Chain A
Amino acid sequence: MSTKENSNQSSKNWQDANIASISDADFNAWLDNINEASSVNVNDEWNKLNASIETERPIANGRNIALWIARIAAIIIFAFTSYTTIIYFSTKKEVNYHELSLKNGQQAQLSLPDGSKVWLYANSTIRYPDQFNDGIRAVELTGEAFFVVKHQKTNTPFQVKAGKLTVEVLGTRFNVSAYKNSENIETALISGKVKLSIPEKNGLKSITMKPSEGAIFNTSTGKIQRKQINSSYYLARKEGKLIFDKTPLPEVFKQLERNYGIRIIYNHLAFKDRTFKANFAIDEDINQVFNIMQKALDLKIERKEKVISIKQQ
């Protein structure tokens, strides 16, 4: 028995030594082969094989050709809408309002009249006056933005109006996500203190948040759920990065939907326990992102214009 152990040990050493000796050229060639073999479409290859083993049945062959033509016709490549930014001014009580809307894969940083900074994300709109008056600093948001609010000596509160929810702060860093197509409005606090105000039957209900805390307000039930947040995600995001660190797939899909203005269809039960680790740039090519995800997670991804269906392989 000891001989066997010895031989196992020596074969292990032999292997380690050999692994260390793998040349860059061999390793590179091997990586190229992995990449090449991964990029094969097995369904196409199967169709090819089907055509060559089906020669004895010409009818089926004809059907195959028709299927091929239909498949080719079904390939739709679409380009993203052009990058345009609309800024317009409207007059209301002698105050000029600025409105900034962003499209897919866009991100903008802007300074507000009080020196506070806003990082506005894809598919989002912010509306703010060119001057803050009346002892309040208020902006309106649909979609998502990160705020770094400058504290003022006068203690003038800063308000983000996101649909039914109002987020009020004095000076702090936080993120608000209030997309029209989502029934949730999410607030994530990085530092400082914020107060959320929600309309109720008799007046307003207020909730105070602590740093590293998130609050999800469900606009249909009116309920608020608190959770721990990952601050580094929000901080990286404003630098133009989408960072996933063992993030549950439903959350990953949600971020991708928002960034690219797409709709992802998937079975929540099948994916809720799976996670993904990745670093993407917000302007990274959508095809590249899905190509890597598909292969890293062994998914079946089908894209039809702005709707993407994701299944287990």
Chain B
Amino acid sequence: MSKEVFEKIISGDRKTFEHVFKRYFKGMYFYALNFGLDKDTSREVVQSTFVKIWERRQYLSPHSEFENYLFASLRNNCLLSLREKKNKLELEELRENDKNLIQQEENTFESISQFNELSKTYHSSLAEMPDQMRKVFIMSREGGLTYKEIGRKLNITVNTVETHIRRALKKLKNDLKDFLPILLFLLNI
């Protein structure tokens, strides 16, 4: 994403803004979630990051790539939002973290720019699972059912459920191995 994009947005080009929004929303939301913010707060933070940029566009200067500016704004907003919820003691800790964060900045931003690729790989991995394994995995993750409940529903033993889950996680870890360094950086936040 070039400086040109930045200039277009400053001049009020809504189409370009929409394009950027749709391209990065999921990745930015993912970033906020990984920051430890809850779902509603994460959505709000991403939304308000875009709103603020749009409202202040006349005062911006296109000194860098728009992506960098966008992601750095998001990071600041995530930090602010996190601070609101923490007490002073934890704030000290956060300040320490800030230093690390700035060093890791570029790496953590990869989780945003590569999110669409990551999501595709994750879902391809789900598709490739034997259907029973996938069913068990989805029931457990998205349905929030216990192993016992899944076993009863599918008429299989709790042991079999455990085996399916373990194999599913192993497959996912293997299929997503190229993205694991991103997870490492995120864990260091």
Contacts and interface: CB of A to CB of B under 8 A. Distances in A.
B47 interface: yes
* 5 closest cross-chain pairs (CB), A and B: A37-B30, A278-B127, A296-B123, A295-B123, A281-B131
Given A34-B30, A35-B122, A296 B127 contact: yes
Contact of B127 (A22, A34, A52, A292): A292
A42 B119 contact: no
Interface stretch (B19-27, B69-77, B78-86, B89-97): B19-27
B184 interface: yes
Interface stretch (A24-32, A124-132, A163-171): A24-32
A295 B26 contact: no
Contact of B180 (A19, A46, A293, A297): A19
B177 to A, nearest CB: 7
B128 A37 contact: no
A241 interface: yes
Interface in A37-79: 37-38, 40, 42-43, 45-46, 48-49, 52-53
**Most B-side CB within 10 Å, residue of A26, A38, A297:** A38
A279 interface: yes
B50 interface: yes
Interface of B: 18, 21-22, 25-27, 29-30, 33-34, 39, 43, 46-47, 50-51, 54-55, 115-116, 118-120, 122-124, 126-132, 134, 138, 141-142, 169, 172-173, 177, 180-181, 183-184, 186-187
A40 B51 CA distance: 18
Contact of B26 (A18, A40, A278, A279): A40
A279 B33 contact: no
22 contacts: A18-B184, A22-B180, A22-B187, A31-B141, A33-B33, A33-B34, A34-B118, A36-B30, A37-B27, A37-B115, A38-B26, A42-B22, A45-B46, A49-B47, A53-B51, A241-B131, A277-B128, A279-B127, A279-B129, A279-B134, A295-B120, A296-B123
A36 B184 CA distance: 19
A276 interface: yes
Interface string A210-236: 000000000000000000000000000
